[in-house]
Amino acid sequence: MTASDHDGLERGKLRYVGAMGAGISHEIRNALATINEKTGLMSDLLIASQRGRPLDVARLQKLTDDVSRLVKTIDGTCGRLSRLSHSPDHDVKEIGLGEALELVVALMKRRAAGNRVELVVEPGDDASIESDPVLLQLALSRLIGWLIDRAPGASVGFRAVDAAGQVGVAVTGAPVDELVTAPPEEIVQVLAALDGTLSAGASDGSPLLLLPKRTRPR
């Protein structure tokens, strides 16, 4: 790998973390805005009650339940933000591929919704890889992003696979032949850094993406 390629990947990793963090911030802001709206309605009900109007207990309970649900949503979103933020803590660490898939799929769902694509992490093997966490997430995000753009309205499934000395990601519900035969340079670049390959047999349910169980930063 040339110095220019290395620098490009490092910039790509920074952009990935920044873009995903900005997306999470947007999700939190939207949820907080909705909470603010609902607490305003709760306040209106209480003020009306103080002025003699019967308190609409059912409506107040509905608003309270909505706020509680949104708080849980924000808590889950903050959990993803924490995992993303701690990803650069180690140059190399052991990573559960299924867990990495779940994180990146969750982070990409807002983009997928814009193209009416449903992303689903399906039950898979207990596959682990020793690698650069951010680089692995970058590879998965570029792969998923490519599929989102080419499968409007589809339900795309991802499954971690343990394949004898390698780990892989199997994909269902999306066209992959074009990706295998003519992958974009941004995917080729990050897979080269991970010693990864795209498999021509992916259409039969075998892994589309194959990675060695141990990769080292170059």
129, 205: one domain: yes
40 within some domain:
yes
pLDDT the model gives residue 128: 92
Q: Identify whether residues 174 and 206 lie together within a single domain.
A: yes
Of the candidates 166, 115, 105, 116, the one whose C-alpha atom is nearest the C-alpha of residue 140 is 105
pLDDT at 105: 96
- Say yes or no to pLDDT of 218 above 90: no
Residues 55, 144 share a domain: no
Segment 44-62, tens digit of pLDDT: 999 999 999 999 999 999 9
pTM of the predicted model as reported, rounded to 2 decimal places: 0.87
Calpha distance 208→191 (Å, rounded): 12
Distance CA 125, CA 51 (A): 61
Write the DSSP assignment of 67-117 as a string of letters. HHHHHHHHHHHHHHHHHHHHGGG-SSEEEEHHHHHHHHHHHHHHHHHHTT-
Same domain, 39 and 146: no
**121, 198: one domain:** yes
Instruction: Please say if the pLDDT value at position 204 is more than 60.
Output: no
Closest Cα to residue 175, out of 211, 140, 148? Answer: 148
Residue 150 lies in a domain: yes
Which of 57-71, 149-163, 194-208: highest mean pLDDT? Answer: 57-71
Residues 98 and 198 in one domain: yes
In a domain? residue 218: no
Q: Residue 217: pLDDT band by 50, 70, 90 thresholds?
A: low
| pLDDT tier, 200 (very low <50, low <70, confident <90, very high otherwise) | low
Residue 193 maps to a domain: yes
- Cα distances from 35 to residues 58, 64, 191, 211, in angstroms, run 18, 10, 42, 43
Evaluate whether residue 77 is within a structural domain.
yes
Q: Kindly tell me if the per-residue pLDDT of 5 is higher than 70.
A: yes
Residue pair 42/168 in contact (Cβ under 8 Å)? The answer is: no
**Virtual CA dihedral for 128, 130, 132, 135, nearest 10 degrees?**
-40
Output DSSP code: residue 122.
Answer: P
The residue out of 58, 87, 116 marking a domain boundary is 87
Enclosing domain of residue 79 = 3-87
104 token code pair: 């990146």
pLDDT at residue 1, rounded to an integer: 66
71 located within any domain: yes
pLDDT over 70 (residue 177): yes
For the chain, give the longest Cα–Cα distance. Answer: 76
In a domain, 123, yes or no: yes
Count the domains in the chain: 2
Average pLDDT over residues 61-84: 96
Domain termination site, one of 24, 54, 87: 87
In terms of domains, do 128 and 149 share one? yes
pLDDT band at 205 (very low <50, low <70, confident <90, very high): low
Same domain, 22 and 103: no
Residue 172 belongs to a domain with what CATH number?
A: 3.30.565.10
Give the tokens for residue 40. Answer: 């305003």
108 and 46 within one domain: no
Task: Identify whether residues 63 and 24 lie together within a single domain.
Answer: yes
105 and 191 housed in the same domain: yes
Which of the listed residues 87, 121, 144 is the one where a domain comes to its end?
87
The pLDDT tens digits of the residues spanning 123-144 come to 999 999 999 999 999 999 999 9
My answer on whether 71 and 125 are in the same domain is no
In a domain, 217, yes or no: no
